[in-house]
Amino acid sequence: MTDRVIASLESKLEVGEFRLHSLLEITRAITTNQSVEQLTRLFSFIMQEQLGFDRFVLFNKEVEWSCLLKVGLRSKIKEIDVKQELSRFREITVIESSYSQVLNEFDVIVPVLHKNEPLAYLLIAGLGNRGVKLTETLNQVSFIQTLANIVVMAIENKRMAKEQVKQARLKKELEVASEMQKLLFPADLPTNKRMDISARYIPRHEVGGDYYDFIPLGDDQYIICIADVSGKGISAAMLMANFQATIRTLFNYQRFELEFLISELNKKVMTSAKGEKFITFFVAQYNATTRELTYVNAGHNQPFITNGKEVKLLDIGCVGLGMFDEMPFIQVGKEILAPNTTLVLYTDGVVELENERNQQFELESLIKLVHNFYRLSMEDMNNLVFSKLDEWRGTRKLVDDTAVFSCRFF
C-alpha cells in the first residue's frame, strides 16, 4: 500500500471522525434541550472553527422569513427577499452570477427542505479564498446541509412545542373566560303578569362577541340592552367580556342618565380597544308603572317594537362606542308602550345570515316571523326564529355570533 493511499485513508478517517463528532455534539445539544441561541452558537462554532467558513448567513422561516444567524458579513442582509429570490432553489447551488447584487456576494446556496417545502436557507461566501478544491468544498457543504437540517428541524420542533403549550394555555384561558362570560348573562329572565322576557344566543366560538342583559333597578325600573363588538376572534370576545363586567359594575352601584352612561362606556371602550375595535350597543330603560321606554341606539341593528301589525324601528341615539374619543352627539328616544307590545332586539348574525344562494335573512324576514306567530311566548318565538335560521343557512356554518332578545310587555 503506497504512502499516498495510506494518507488518503487517514484523511478520510479523520473526516469521518470529525463528522461523527459534530453530529454527536449537535445531537447532545438537542437531547439536553438547549436553547435556540445555544444551538445556533454551536452550529456557528462548527462552521467557523472546525470547517473554516467565516462568512455565512442562515435564514429561517417561522411565520415569516427572518435572519437566524449572520457571521462575517457587513452587507444589508435585510435587502434579500427570501421568498422571491431563494424559494426556487431546491438543491445545493453554486452562485456564478445573479441579478441580485446582494446574492452575488455569496458562493453557495444551501436549502433546507421539510416535506418539499423550504424551511431554511444557508448562504456561504468566501469559498474562493480558502485554498481548497471546489469538489472537496462541495463535499463539505453537503455535510453542512445535513447539520443545518438537523439544527433547523430542532428549532422548528421547539417552536411547535412552544406553540402547542401556548395553544393549550390559550384554550384553558378561553374555557375560563367562557364560564365567566356565562355568569355575566342574566340567569333568570322574568315571565309574569307584567312582562315575558326571553333570550337565545349561539356564540360562534367558546367566547362570543355578542351580549345582552336585563337588569332590574327596583321601583319598577328595568334596564334592557344588547351589544355586538366589531371584528371576530379572541381579542373581540375579551373586549366584550370586559364590557359586560363594566355595565354590571356600573349599575350595581348607582343609576345613571342614559346620556351619561353612554359617554362613560365610550371612554372605557376607547381605553380598552385603543381605537382598534368598536361596540354597537342598544340600551333601554323601561318604567313598568308609566310604561315609558327611554333608549339610546349606539350604532346597533335597529330593534323594533310591534303590536303584531304595525312596526316601529328604534333608531335614535348616537354612533358606536369606541369610534371617537368624545361622542359627537347623544340623543335619547322615548316611547310609550301600549299593552301587549313586543320589543325585539337582535345582532347582525341574525339579519346578515346568508343562505346557499348568498342571500341574507334580513330584517323583513324577522319581522314577518314575529307577526305570523305573535301569540307565541317569547321563548317559543326565539326557538322558532333559530329554527328558521337553521333552515335558511342550510349546510352553511354560522359565520358570526347570533343573539335574539325578545320582550313582551302586557
**Nearest C-alpha neighbor of 22 from the set 113, 153, 146:** 146
**Nearest C-alpha neighbor of 239 from the set 259, 210, 217, 203:** 210
- Give CA–CA dist 389/188, Å, rounded: 25
CB atoms within 10 A of CB 44: 16
Task: Please name every residue paired with 333 in a beta bridge, in sequence order, or none if there are none.
Answer: 295
Which helix H or strand E contains 401, and what residues bound it? none
Handedness of CA 134, 138, 144, 148 (dihedral sign): positive
pLDDT value of residue 98: 67
Give pLDDT tens digits for 135-167. 666 677 888 888 888 888 888 888 888 888 888
Q: pLDDT band for position 8 (50/70/90)?
A: very low
Residue predicted with more confidence, 72 or 361:
361
Q: pLDDT band for position 19 (50/70/90)?
A: low
Instruction: Work out the average pLDDT over 157-181.
Output: 79
Which range (53-62, 281-290, 347-356, 379-388) has the least confidence?
Answer: 53-62
pLDDT value of residue 398: 79
pLDDT value of residue 12: 42
Q: Are 177 and 205 in contact (CB under 8 A)?
A: no
Q: Which domains does the chain have, with CATH numbers?
A: 3-161 (3.30.450.40), 185-409 (3.60.40.10)
**Cell digits of residue 374:** 305573535
Q: pLDDT band for position 3 (50/70/90)?
A: very low
pLDDT value of residue 168: 84
Residue predicted with more confidence, 159 or 129:
159
Q: What is the mean pLDDT of the chain?
A: 85
- Give CA–CA dist 232/240, Å, rounded: 11
Give pLDDT tens digits for 325-354. 999 999 999 999 999 999 999 999 999 999
Residue predicted with more confidence, 202 or 251:
202
> Is the overall model pTM greater than 0.75, yes or no?
no
**Nearest C-alpha neighbor of 269 from the set 320, 321, 231, 314:** 321
Contacts of 77 (CB under 8 A, 6+ apart): 57, 67, 70, 102
**Nearest C-alpha neighbor of 120 from the set 168, 160, 83:** 83
What's phi and psi for 265, nearest 5 deg? -65, -35
**Nearest C-alpha neighbor of 304 from the set 404, 395, 237, 212:** 404
- Provide the percentage of residues in the chain whose pLDDT is more than 70: 88
Which range (50-54, 125-129, 223-227, 286-290) has the least confidence?
Answer: 125-129
Give pLDDT tens digits for 60-86. 988 888 888 898 887 667 778 888 888
Q: What is the dihedral of CA 87, 92, 94, 97, to 10 degrees?
A: -10
Contacts of 148 (CB under 8 A, 6+ apart): 43, 58, 110, 112, 120, 122
pLDDT value of residue 45: 87
**Nearest C-alpha neighbor of 243 from the set 203, 280, 289:** 280
pLDDT value of residue 346: 97
pLDDT value of residue 76: 67
Which range (99-113, 135-149, 192-206, 344-358) has the least confidence?
Answer: 135-149
What's phi and psi for 57, nearest 5 deg? -140, 140
What is the distance of C-alpha 207 from the center of its chain?
12
- Give CA–CA dist 244/240, Å, rounded: 6
